[in-house]
Amino acid sequence: MEINLSDLEPRHAHDFLTSSIVPRPIAWVSSINKDGQVNLAPFSFFTGVSWSPPVLAFSVVNRSDGSIKDTVINIREVPEFVVNMVSVDLLPIMEFSARSLPYGTDRHSIKGITWIPATRIKPYRIQESKVSFECTLERIVAVSEGPDAGNLILGRIEIAHIHDELLRNGREVDWLGLDVLGRLSGNRYCAVRSVIESERN
Ligand SMILES: Cc1cc2nc3c(=O)[nH]c(=O)nc-3n(C[C@H](O)[C@H](O)[C@H](O)COP(=O)(O)O)c2cc1C
């Protein structure tokens, strides 16, 4: 069967993509606006892009009424952000932070997380996140305009933070310990519980 995603209603194309590109790690992005108000939101259209220079990317899709999400507004104003990795224990707080709030609502007061200053940039990072990346904006690629169009945000990683006990050989992350949360679709998630080791190495 072939499906032309462009023929589908946008929300159905969303359902197809989010249930076929699985599982996805979650970029929990903290940003600030020019008045210093803090924002935090999760984005699972997220991946690494380059390691030299170190660059990651996530995509913020415009709301279906065409409005731009606060994360994009903030990063246009203050071109810096922290990508906090989400582990399984952080699921409820991460989901809570996805609620759409009036622009400028400060998310500093979200319960269950501890904000700590970043070392290179203005936005704060989350202490409970086992790995986090302080990024400066490399560029925003707007794939189109209007409702449901994506804004790919590329961030250059200025410094990474990791909980000490998870670092191996000074450079590798113990991903079992990281216990990363994987997004499936809707309210379904997964964890790394079944590891397949290939013969190759
Ligand atoms: C697990 C999870 C993953 C999400 N992934 C995305 C995504 O990749 N892109 C996107 O635009 N919205 C995504 N959302 C929805 C945003 O988090 C939501 O629209 C949020 O209100 C945006 O916040 P902001 O306006 O403060 O930027 C996701 C939500 C959840 C719970």
pLDDT, one tens digit per residue, over 71-81 is 999 999 999 99
Say if 95 falls within a structural domain. Answer: yes
- 155 CA to centre of ligand 1 in angstroms: 17
- 121 CA to centre of ligand 1 in angstroms: 23
Domain that holds residue 54: 5-191
**Tens of pLDDT along 11-25?**
999 999 999 999 999
Say if 119 falls within a structural domain. Answer: yes
Of the chain, the end-to-end C-alpha distance in Å amounts to 37
**177-182: average pLDDT:** 98
Cis link prior to 53 (omega < 30° from 0)? yes
Q: Mean pLDDT score of the chain, rounded to an integer?
A: 96
Residue 134: pLDDT over 80: yes
How far apart CA 186 and CA 145 sit, in angstroms, is 25
Ligand 1 atom at minimal distance to the Cα of residue 42: 17
Q: What is the largest CA-CA distance in the chain?
A: 54
Say if 201 falls within a structural domain. Answer: no
Say if 103 falls within a structural domain. Answer: yes
The lowest-confidence range among 38-47, 101-110, 178-187 is 101-110
Q: What CATH number is attached to the domain comprising 52?
A: 2.30.110.10
Say if 199 falls within a structural domain. Answer: no
Residue 108: pLDDT over 70: yes
Nearest CA to ligand 1 atom 21: 100
CA 172, 55, 91, 105 dihedral sign is positive
Say how many domains are in the chain: 1
Confidence label for 138 from pLDDT (cuts 50, 70 and 90): very high
**Tens of pLDDT along 20-72?**
999 999 999 999 999 999 999 999 999 999 999 999 999 999 999 999 999 99
Residue 179: pLDDT over 70: yes
Say if 198 falls within a structural domain. Answer: no
How far apart CA 37 and CA 68 sit, in angstroms, is 17
Say if 200 falls within a structural domain. Answer: no
- 29 CA to centre of ligand 1 in angstroms: 10
Say if 24 falls within a structural domain. Answer: yes
